[in-house]
Structures are given as structure tokens and as C-alpha cells.
Structure 1
Amino acid sequence: MLPNITITPAAEKFMRRFVRFSGQPAGAGFRLTVSAGGCSGYNSEFTVEAAPLPGDAALDVNGLTLLLPAESRLLLDGVTIDCVDTTTKSGLSFFNPAAAACACSSSEGASSTPPGLAKISISSIRPAAPKPLLS
């Protein structure tokens, strides 16, 4: 079952750039792995893959292939994925209107981030490990 995900134009542009500059062949997809974590938010990792990995579902987003593992599909149902690009923050953000409000406090203040919003910094992105050459 494919989740009901809203991807903003800014998030789509962000994903397309990663695919375009990845060095992968045409038709490669943006693979987004999400796990529950943080205060009412998500931990996530993304890579560009030439083909879906076992268990991935491919979601077409205006010609962009979004690859989602099973757990990510469950967690992202009903979520809006956006891209934040300001002078202080840059990366994907997730808004889940069904998430409960956070009961803990943070250094930024309890009301600075809407419930269910998690931000991923561009600085956390690392290049994929080189693949071994076949002999």
C-alpha cells in the first residue's frame, strides 16, 4: 500500500537536485528512509539508488521516483514533506498533523516547532561509501 504523502514543490526540487547530481544513471530514484525518533518527529536518511532495493515501493512524483521502504511508508502516511532553505536552516522537513504535541522542553522553546515537524540539516548528508570494483 502506498502512503498518502504530500510533497511540496520545494521538497520535490530538493530531491530532483540530489538525483540529478548523484552520478547515477537516468531513471535513478530518491530513496527516503524514515524512522520514529526525536520529539514527535522523525529520523531520516536518504540516498540516490539506480533501482529499488528489496522491499522498496516506488512512488512517482511528477516523473521523480521516490523509493520508500516499508517502515517509511507506514510512518509517512498523511505527512507533508517540505524543504526549508533559509540562512540558518536547510533541508527536508516533515509535518505530521496527527502527531501529539511534545511534552518536553528544548533549548529552542516548546512552541518554536509545530508538533510533528522535524528538520534534517544539509550538513548531515554524507556521500555514499564507494562501491568495490568487480574484478
Structure 2
Amino acid sequence: MGAANVVVTPAAEKFMRRLLRFSEHPAGGFRLTVTPGGCSGLSSSFSLDAAPQDGDAVLDVNGLRVFLPAASAALLDGVTVDFADTPTSSGLRFHDPKQAACGCSSAGAAPPAQASVSLDSLRRISRA
């Protein structure tokens, strides 16, 4: 399946590469799954996998493979994936120019969606 129209910023690419490098599958890819939900419109999770699954879109980001399940690829169409590391939060953020601002925020703008980090597929590397 072809890749979705998704922009991955250099900060997000660096984050994905770093996690993949220390995973059990350093030659694999970064699987990003998003679903509708949350104040900003998207909820997400990721894993580090050896290969794409049937039906995945494979996004090539300067040689980094990002696996997107079909439903996720559709939801991410036109979205920019970024990474932010602030004193209060750290993670992937999704900027969708089609998403309206949330009405529940007193500032009138919804915070970007964030991905949760699971360390299950990372391995510990001991340095001598």
C-alpha cells in the first residue's frame, strides 16, 4: 500500500530513530496507530516492529520506515507529526490544519494530541 500524505518533522524523525535504534528490531520500523478521540481529535500509540503488517501504508522518512495501519493513514492524511519535549510533557504531537479548535479550552485552542510511550519493545544495552 502507498504512503499517506503525512509530514514528519525532523524532531519527530529523530525521536523515532532513537527509539528504533535501541529496540529489538533496529532494522524494522516505527508503527504509529491513531484513532479518533480526545479533545484534539486524535489518540495514538506506537510500537517498534520488524516489518509492516498486511494493509499497512509504509511512509519513508529519509530511510526511516513508518508503518501506518490503513485507518491510521486515513486519519493522518494532511497531518504534521512533530515531537515536543517540554518541562510538562514529552511526546509526539499531531497538527491537523483541518481540525477545529476545541470549545472546552478557555484559551479556545486545543492542545495537540500526544502519543504514549511504551518501552516494551526496547532492549537494554550495556556499555562496557
TM over 0.5: yes
CA distance in 2, matches of 1:110, 1:95: 17
1:112 CA drift (Å): 5.6
CA distance in 1, matches of 2:70, 2:5: 14
Aligned to 2:49: 49
Q: Give the number of the structure with larger relative contact order, counting CA–CA contacts within 8 Å between residues 6 or more apart.
A: 2
CA distance in 2, matches of 1:41, 1:83: 17
Aligned residues: 120
Structure 1: 5+ residue stretches without partners? 129-135
1:15-54 per-residue CA deviation (whole Å, 9 max, x = no partner) reads: 0011101121x42000000001011321111001101112
- TM-score, reference length from structure 2: 0.84
Q: Is the 8 A contact 1:90 1:120 kept in 2?
A: no
Aligned to 2:18: 17
Map 1:104-119 → 2, pairs under 5 A? 104-105=104-105, 109-111=106-108, 113=110, 117-119=112-114
* CA distance 1:126–1:110, shift in 2 (3 Å): farther
- TM-score, reference length from structure 1: 0.80
RMSD across aligned positions (CA): 1.8
2:72 is the counterpart of 1:72: yes
